[in-house]
Chain A
Amino acid sequence: MSVTKAPQKAELVRRASSLIPLFREKALWMDENRCMHQDAIDALTNAGFLKMRVPVRYGGYDTDMRTIVDVISEVGRGDGSVSWTLAMWALSAWMVGLFPEAVQEEVFSTPDVRICGILSPGAIAVPANGGYLVNGKWSFNTGARQSMWNTNAAVVPTADGGHDPVMTLIPISDLEIIDDWYTSGLRGSGSVTTIAKDVFIPAERVLPMEPLLQGQHLSNLAPFMPTACTTVSAVALGLANAAKDAFFERLPGRRITFTSYERQSEAPVTHLEVAEATTKIDETGFHAYRAADMIDTKGASGEPWTLEERARVRLDLGAACQRAKEAVEILDSASGGSSIYRDVPIQRIERDVKTLNLHAIVHPATNLELYGRIICGLEPNTPYI
């Protein structure tokens, strides 16, 4: 077993900040080629970011949530697709940490292993010979072509005609890949469809979903949904900061066409827009870090999570993404007709943040409704909490 000396938190964040120019440079290529650029993958690997969610005993860093939010959001200032893909890889690596030791040993024996993952049950797993035979397909499989393993959700038929949801772990080489990733946003994430045709999975690589969602797994990690939600909220923060950077970079030379303003920076309307967007970005950070601090604090104290606390992390995710989207939309609409060219970052950032907000777990309306139900005294209407 190798013992890794984990870099200091500040060092990880510094590395992320230093990679922003590289991700920005490759952003257009990734947007056009609908997958991550190899240089970006190498950069994430060399910076150690693929180790953040790997347990220390397998050479990983077991990084705290706040630092992970710092890193993923800094990466997002560079490019949204890289940030989103890193979030998925980090989360799926964390997920592998819930499987039995033998499975973890196998997966993590590859240093900087890349594991993609999907939470929607898209397949049926039928018990067979000490394992399961799986058939089905999963869309939105971020980074699948550049990953070695895939965590997927499936259902196991029960005797009474029902279904038990499970989480499976499958080598990418066992799956067929359909490149259907022709989308309006997060194009560089290459979130293609994977297909399983009679794929056999040994029993130890199948976990029942319910205890996993409840946080009743073997390990003493944080519960899954709060971890997932916080990880993703960092992408929103990164995109919002990217929009601010992009806006201020263009502001100095810009005029407002067909008005008497010589400079956009002198127009009071611009001042309102900039202030509104900036306060909303601050609020995005508030939500992301409140969720992260909750996870880190609970992790340190071992205190159990209440239902309302779990719901509040989903609210924080929804609110972070909503505020980020509002901020990006303000800055995008303040960027004028010249900003719609493909090589101007703001239009891509706007497509990315809109796409992020449409994700089923992220969607603000869904998260607000769920939190609202809980504080009104109702039961949750989803197990994903």
Chain B
Amino acid sequence: MEAVKIPSRSELVQRVADIVPVLRANAEWGDRNRRLADESVNAMIDAGVLRMLVPTQYGGYESDMQTIVDVGIQLGRGDGSPAFCATAWWAQCWAVAHFPDSVQDEVFASPDVRICGTLVPNGKGEITKDGAVVSGEWGFNSGAWHSQWKFLSTPAINAAGEIEPIAAVVPMSDLEIVDDWDVAGLRGTGSITLVARDVFIPRERFQWLGEVARQEYGSERNADSPCYRGPIVGVLSNINTGKQVGLAQAAREAFFERIHHRPIQHTSYATQAEWPITHLQAAEADLKIDEAEYHARTLAALVDHKNYSNEPYTMRERAYCRVAVGRVSQLCHEAVNIYNMASGAGGIYSSMPIQRIQRDIQAISLHALNMPIKNLELYGRVLCGLEPNTFFI
């Protein structure tokens, strides 16, 4: 196996900052064609983005969470769709790093492997003596067009005779594609539906979700790695924050590029920059972005601390993981709304980044893990002394 040099945090962030123009140049193509441009995927591969949560033994970086936030911000500055796919791919790499080592040997044969999928259980699985046979369909498979594997979850009957979801990793070649990705936002993610018809999954390629929830993982070699410790809620929340801050920053960049030339039609203001309303908008959006990054950084610091110290999470900390990403969504969405409304009718052309950023951040805010109100409710329950009303915590 080749010895891989893990880039330093600043080196990696610089590499990703350098591909921002590539991602921007391909954003409109992705929007029209409802999938990522190959050039965007290749740029992320070359920059090392897709290796960040791949185990080091396979050439990955096992990056810490602050670096993930940094890189997420740069990707978001570039384009929402590749940033979103990177998050999805990170999540599945992290999940597969808990599978038995023999499965990882196969999946991580290339450290730039793309595994699409979601955690949502669908379809049904029938346990056989040497594995499971799975049928069903799963929506929202971001980056599926560029993936080699799919991570899926499906209910099955466990040894105790109860219904319990399994989480499995399946080669894309075993699945059928339904191109239903005709959507309002994150169009470039190509988050199509995948269908399994009686697909056989060997035993080692699935885990019971109960084991995952109890952090009883299948990998021996990754067992001591800080990167793969802790409950899934910490990492999954954390990888979602950076891109949203980056999208809001991209909206800010687009805003400042125009305000010195744009007049405010039907008023006496010669430029948008001299209009006091602009000053209020600029300041309000700015502070929301800073507050969003504050939550992203606070969450990253928490997860990194837990990962490296191996201290257990309190319930309140687990709930904070959820509310942090929810509040990041809320604040970034609000900031982008301000910039969008300050961009005038000229901002609605398909060639203008602000209208795409607006649609993308809205789509992200509707995602089940990000949706602010859901996360706020959960956090509030815990602060009020109630039990959580979800197992995803």
**Residues of A252-279 whose CB lies within 8 A of B:** 265-266, 268, 270-276, 278-279
What 1/0 mask marks residues of chain B from 248 to 286 whose CB sits below 8 Å from any chain A CB?
Answer: 000000001001100000000000011010111111101
Q: Within 8 Å CB of A290, what residues of B?
A: 290
In the assembled complex, A368 has its CB within 8 A of some CB on chain B? yes
Measured between alpha carbons, how far is A375 from B291 in the docked complex, in Å? Answer: 17
Most buried by B among A266, A278, A370: A278
Pair B283/A371 contact, Cβ less than 8 Å: yes
Between A and B, 13 residue pairs with Cβ closer than 8 Å are: A266-B386, A268-B381, A271-B379, A271-B381, A275-B378, A275-B379, A275-B383, A279-B376, A283-B291, A370-B283, A372-B280, A376-B278, A377-B260
Q: Within 8 Å CB of A15, what residues of B?
A: none
Residues in A lying within 8 Å of B, measured CB to CB? 251, 265-266, 268, 270-276, 278-279, 282-283, 286-287, 290, 315, 319, 365, 367-373, 375-378
In the assembled complex, B295 has its CB within 8 A of some CB on chain A? yes
Pair B323/A279 contact, Cβ less than 8 Å: yes
Minimum Cβ distance to chain A for residue B290 (Å): 8
Given known contacts A369-B283, A378-B273, A279 and B295 CB-to-CB distance under 8 angstroms: yes
A265 touches which of B281, B290, B384 (Cβ 8 Å): B384
In the assembled complex, B161 has its CB within 8 A of some CB on chain A? no
Measured between alpha carbons, how far is A315 from B260 in the docked complex, in Å? Answer: 22
Interface residues in B, total, Cβ within 8 A:
34
Minimum Cβ distance to chain B for residue A324 (Å): 13
Which residue on B lies nearest to A283, using beta carbons? B291
Which residue on A lies nearest to B327, using beta carbons? A279
A319 touches which of B259, B287, B298 (Cβ 8 Å): B287
What 1/0 mask marks residues of chain B from 351 to 393 whose CB sits below 8 Å from any chain A CB?
Answer: 0000000000000000000000101111111011110000000
Interface residues of B, dominant DSSP? helix
Q: Within 8 Å CB of B280, what residues of A?
A: 365, 368-369, 372
A272 touches which of B276, B284, B380 (Cβ 8 Å): B380
A375 touches which of B282, B373, B377, B385 (Cβ 8 Å): B282
Measured between alpha carbons, how far is A278 from B377 in the docked complex, in Å? Answer: 12
What 1/0 mask marks residues of chain B from 9 to 25 whose CB sits below 8 Å from any chain A CB?
Answer: 00000000000000000
Given known contacts A271-B376, A271-B377, A271-B384, A378 and B274 CB-to-CB distance under 8 angstroms: yes
Q: Within 8 Å CB of B295, what residues of A?
A: 279, 282
Measured between alpha carbons, how far is A99 from B283 in the docked complex, in Å? Answer: 35
Most buried by A among B283, B291, B298, B380: B283
In the assembled complex, B308 has its CB within 8 A of some CB on chain A? no
Minimum Cβ distance to chain A for residue B329 (Å): 12
Which residue on A lies nearest to B383, using beta carbons? A274
In the assembled complex, B313 has its CB within 8 A of some CB on chain A? no
Minimum Cβ distance to chain B for residue A32 (Å): 33
Pair A376/B379 contact, Cβ less than 8 Å: no
In the assembled complex, B294 has its CB within 8 A of some CB on chain A? yes
Q: Within 8 Å CB of A278, what residues of B?
A: 379-380, 383
Measured between alpha carbons, how far is A372 from B256 in the docked complex, in Å? Answer: 11
Measured between alpha carbons, how far is A273 from B373 in the docked complex, in Å? Answer: 10
Pair B380/A270 contact, Cβ less than 8 Å: yes
Which residue on B lies nearest to A264, using beta carbons? B384
Which residue on A lies nearest to B292, using beta carbons? A283
A371 touches which of B278, B286, B291, B375 (Cβ 8 Å): B286
Minimum Cβ distance to chain B for residue A343 (Å): 24
Pair A265/B385 contact, Cβ less than 8 Å: yes
What 1/0 mask marks residues of chain B from 291 to 304 whose CB sits below 8 Å from any chain A CB?
Answer: 10011001000000
Minimum Cβ distance to chain A for residue B284 (Å): 6
9 closest pairs, A vs B, by CB? A271-B380, A372-B279, A275-B380, A368-B283, A372-B283, A275-B376, A372-B282, A275-B379, A274-B380
What 1/0 mask marks residues of chain B from 136 to 168 whose CB sits below 8 Å from any chain A CB?
Answer: 000000000000000000000000000000000
Pair B287/A270 contact, Cβ less than 8 Å: no
Measured between alpha carbons, how far is A376 from B295 in the docked complex, in Å? Answer: 26
Pair B384/A368 contact, Cβ less than 8 Å: no
A275 touches which of B260, B298, B323 (Cβ 8 Å): B323
**Given pairs A369-B280, A372-B282, 19 additional interface contacts (CB within 8 A):** A268-B381, A271-B377, A272-B377, A275-B376, A275-B377, A275-B379, A279-B323, A279-B327, A282-B298, A315-B283, A315-B286, A365-B280, A372-B278, A372-B284, A373-B279, A376-B259, A376-B274, A377-B260, A378-B279
Pair B273/A377 contact, Cβ less than 8 Å: yes
Measured between alpha carbons, how far is A287 from B327 in the docked complex, in Å? Answer: 16
Which residue on A lies nearest to B384, using beta carbons? A265
Measured between alpha carbons, how far is A283 from B286 in the docked complex, in Å? Answer: 14
Q: Within 8 Å CB of A369, what residues of B?
A: 276, 279-280, 283
Most buried by B among A276, A287, A290, A367: A276
Q: Within 8 Å CB of A251, what residues of B?
A: 384
